[in-house]
Amino acid sequence: MAAALALICSAVVCGHLGFDFLWMPLRRCTGELCSSSFIGNASVSECLLCHTPRPPLNFQVLPTMLPRRHFLQSLAATTAVAGLAGSRMLAHAHEGHDHDHAPFKISLAEWSLHRTLRDDSVGITNMDFPKVAKEQFGIDAIEYVNQFFKDKARDEKYLTDLKGRCSDNGVKSLLIMVDGEGRLGDPNKEARAKAVENHHQWVDAAKFLGCHSIRVNAASGGSYLEQIKYAADGLSQLSEYAAKQDINVIVENHGGLSSNGAWLAVVMERVGMDNCGTLPDFGNFFISRGKNADEFDRYHGVQALMPYAKAVSAKTHDFDDQGNEKNTDYFKMMKIVTDFGYNGYVGIEYEGGGLSEAEGIKASKKLLERVRDEMAKA
């Protein structure tokens, strides 16, 4: 296996005359993850991570029968990224990880209640979230969404009250999902710096509430390679600030190239900081939508992101008569998650329309509990 990975480490995929080839150099690049830099980018002259020049053109040429996109997904996710990122996986202690016998624990993402929270007639606000999670759903760990207390990041009285609600209900605050604060991978240096600064207040709020992380987006612009550079720069700056408060900055696959699991894994390697990781979401692998929708394979995507995961998002939409999620094989997906040694919190994020939000959360929890019980027996 090690020898195979050594060869794959410098693999290059490029198209000639309408064909796809896997070029396997006989002498590997000295960079640890050069494969992720070179895959699909035949014009790259050096490793994006270690800046080692591309190896001499001493190649074995092997044709592949797979379309380039699917081949890249499989190669990047199952070998170059997942296999060679082992050192980072060991370095990243999963937040919420414990040593009991439960395969994983269950938390609730506030986005599961976004319609309820936006309905003034219901009368439920972010301040009620801890109580609702515990009393209505029996869940004692929560994940906030910043838009539901957008102007309260620096309101110490509000945050103190919210922290008190958690304490009163025996609920743990895990993280804050942050949106609308600018693109951390903005191609414009000044705009990128401003986005980093905008996120500082949420790092502070997360620390105050006792969270371990803030979830951010790696939105960017430009070419595939340029976006790696810009996103890594913004994330590095923010992670440096967050590290001073022992807070993690975790990136969700959330549209654009961030929904390409291999791309985001390369960004993580380029940042290379212990407090910068991922929040793999089971359902957010659409790189683009619409008529020519482009979706990264969700299982390969999660596999690529798990070496860096500090939280996991269990996205659900629709359920069949047996209570299984129609779009995701949860037994298969959770095996991928736990095979990486993760037994921390898995956050329910129900987004469906077929059930009410409350019923969708309950169905999601029931499915996760069933999967957990089966895994515990294995």
Give residue for tokens 């624990």.
105
Q: Are residues 126 and 228 in the same domain?
A: yes
Instruction: Find the DSSP H helices in 149-295.
Output: 156-169, 189-209, 224-243, 261-271
- CA proximity to 111, closest of 371, 350, 296: 350
Q: How high is the pLDDT of residue 281?
A: 95
pLDDT tier for residue 101 given thresholds of 50, 70 and 90 = confident
269 and 144 both lie in a single domain: yes
DSSP 148: G
Same domain flag for 273 and 292:
yes
Q: What local confidence, expressed as pLDDT, does residue 88 receive?
A: 54
51: left (phi over 0), alpha (psi -120 to 50) or beta: left
Boundary of a domain, candidates 29, 63, 84 = 84
Look up the domain containing 368 and give its range.
93-377
pLDDT at position 51: 54
Report yes or no: 249 and 213 within 8 Å, Cβ to Cβ. Answer: yes
pTM over 0.85: no
Collapsed DSSP state (helix, strand, coil) of residue 157: helix
Over residues 259-276, mean pLDDT: 95
**Strands, sheet with 59-63, edge to edge from the N-terminal-most edge strand:** 12-16, 19-25, 59-63
Q: How confident is the model at residue 6 (pLDDT cuts 50, 70, 90)?
A: very low
pLDDT at 95: 62
Q: Are residues 332 and 222 in the same domain?
A: yes
Considering the domain architecture, whether residues 123 and 254 belong to the same structural domain is answered as yes
Out of 55, 84, 113, pick the residue that ends a domain: 84
From 20, 55, 84, the end of a domain falls on 84
Crossing angle (nearest 10°) for helices 224-243 and 261-271:
50
Mean pLDDT computed over 13-20: 28
Instruction: Say whether both 59 and 102 belong to one domain.
Output: no
The reported pLDDT for the residue numbered 168 is 99
* Residues 201 and 333 reside in one and the same domain: yes
CA distance 197 to 185: 13
Residues 6+ apart with CB under 8 A from 28: 6, 7, 9, 10, 34, 55
- Tell me the C-alpha distance between 32 and 30, whole Å: 6
Nearest-5° Cα angle at 146, 141 to 151: 130
Nearest to 361 by CA among 299, 312, 316: 316
Least confident segment among 1-10, 37-46, 240-249: 1-10
25 pLDDT above the threshold of 60: no
What whole-number distance in Å separates Cα of residue 193 and Cα of residue 234?
7
Tell me how far apart the alpha carbons of residues 68 and 64 are, in angstroms, rounded to a whole number. Answer: 8
pLDDT in tens, 185-223: 999 999 999 999 999 999 999 999 999 999 999 999 999
Given the structure tokens 């008569």, which residue do they identify? Answer: 321
Would you state the structure tokens that stand for residue 312, as one six-digit string? 């996991």
Lowest-pLDDT range of 53-57, 64-68, 206-210, 372-376 = 64-68
Residues 59 and 146 in one domain: no
pLDDT of 77: 44
Q: Does 243 have pLDDT greater than 80?
A: yes
Using a pLDDT cut of 70, give the percent of the chain over it.
Answer: 74
| pLDDT over threshold 80, residue 17 | no
Q: How confident is the model at residue 296 (pLDDT cuts 50, 70, 90)?
A: confident
Helix (H, G, I), strand (E, B) or coil at 145: strand
| Whether 47 and 134 share a structural domain | no
User: Does residue 76 share a domain with residue 171?
Assistant: no
Q: Where are the alpha helices (DSSP H) in 66-188?
A: 68-75, 82-84, 86-91, 114-118, 129-137, 156-169
Q: Of 140, 137, 138, 146, whose CA–CA distance to 117 is shortest?
A: 146
Domain with residue 207: its CATH number is 3.20.20.150
Domains contained in the chain, number: 2
Together in a domain, 293 and 318: yes
Both 269 and 217 in a single domain? Answer: yes
Residue 23 scores a pLDDT above 80:
no
What is the model's pLDDT at position 96? 54
**Cα–Cα distance measured from residue 286 to residue 257, given in angstroms and rounded to the nearest whole number:** 9
Top-confidence residue, 70 or 367: 367
Output the pLDDT for position 80: 43
